[in-house]
């Protein structure tokens, strides 16, 4: 069982890389962003609640996110492992995830951060926003607010996982194939 947390600021390529990694390692990809967008599109109670936070560029509260993620893990009991994309984003979420996985006799195997310069990522997101239809990718101020949220709340997770010897940084700039190869090298050596 391999459980990987994929870190990176919005636009770093987590979703793109997750598509390759889930196939190569037979992992179940759990993207909180995708799950939230599904719920928003289908106008569920969770979707409406998540939208109020996402529209401001803020993170959805821990309790909502954790319950949603636990439900998704429980829907995949035969998985060879999970690729967590966009979760955890805070120390309290990481601790809750550890407790939840421990209750299933599992743990996080590794956390891998896709690292890239903010200015490159802002350009990527604005470009993506032209075709994605996502309002949070079309407003530079909202994008920069998301990065501020990331720096304040998510970056401390790096130390949390470093203390457990589970943190790996990977250069997120280059071709998709180059980045996939860098990620695979880390995973293959776990």
pLDDT number for residue 63? 77
Look up residue 60 and give its two tokens.
């959805």
Helix residue ranges per DSSP H, 4-155: 14-25, 32-41, 45-54, 62-74, 91-102, 118-132, 140-149
Dist. CA 27–CA 89, nearest whole Å: 20
Per-residue model confidence as pLDDT tens digits over 37-73: 888 899 988 788 888 887 887 877 887 788 788 888 9
- Choosing from 51, 123, 128, 153, which is the catalytic residue? 128
Q: Are strands 28-31 and 2-7 parallel, antiparallel or unpaired?
A: unpaired
**134 is annotated as an active-site residue:** yes
pLDDT number for residue 94? 94
- Choosing from 9, 22, 124, 146, which is the catalytic residue? 146
Q: Any residues with CB less than 8 A from the CB of 139 and at least 6 apart, and which? A: 129
Q: How high does pLDDT run on average in the chain?
A: 89
To which residue do tokens 């967008």 refer? 37
Low-confidence ranges of the chain (pLDDT < 50): none
2-181 folds as Rossmann fold (3.40.50)
What is the CB-side half-sphere exposure of residue 26 using CA atoms within 13 A? 4
pLDDT number for residue 176? 93
- Choosing from 89, 142, 166, 182, which is the catalytic residue? 89
**Is 48 annotated as ligand-binding?**
no
pLDDT number for residue 86? 82
**Is 44 annotated as ligand-binding?**
no
**146 is annotated as an active-site residue:** yes
């Amino acid at each position: 069982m391999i459980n990987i947390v994929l870190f990176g600021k919005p636009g770093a390529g987590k979703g793109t890389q997750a598509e390759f990694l889930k196939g190569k390692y037979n992992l179940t990809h759990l993207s909180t962003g995708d799950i939230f967008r599904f719920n928003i599109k289908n106008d569920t109670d969770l979707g409406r609640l998540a939208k109020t936070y996402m529209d401001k560029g803020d993170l959805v509260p821990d309790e909502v996110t954790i319950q949603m993620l636990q439900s998704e893990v429980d829907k995949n009991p035969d998985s060879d492992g999970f690729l967590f994309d966009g979760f955890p984003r805070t120390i309290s979420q990481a601790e809750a995830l550890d407790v939840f996985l421990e209750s299933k006799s599992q743990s996080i195997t590794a956390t891998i951060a896709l690292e890239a310069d903010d200015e490159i990522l802002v350009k990527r997101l604005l470009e993506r926003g032209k075709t994605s239809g996502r309002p949070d990718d079309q407003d530079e101020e909202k994008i920069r607010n998301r990065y501020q949220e990331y720096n304040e709340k998510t970056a401390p997770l790096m130390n949390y996982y470093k203390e457990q010897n589970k943190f790996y940084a990977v250069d997120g700039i280059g071709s998709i194939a180059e980045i996939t190869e860098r990620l695979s090298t880390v995973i293959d050596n776990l």
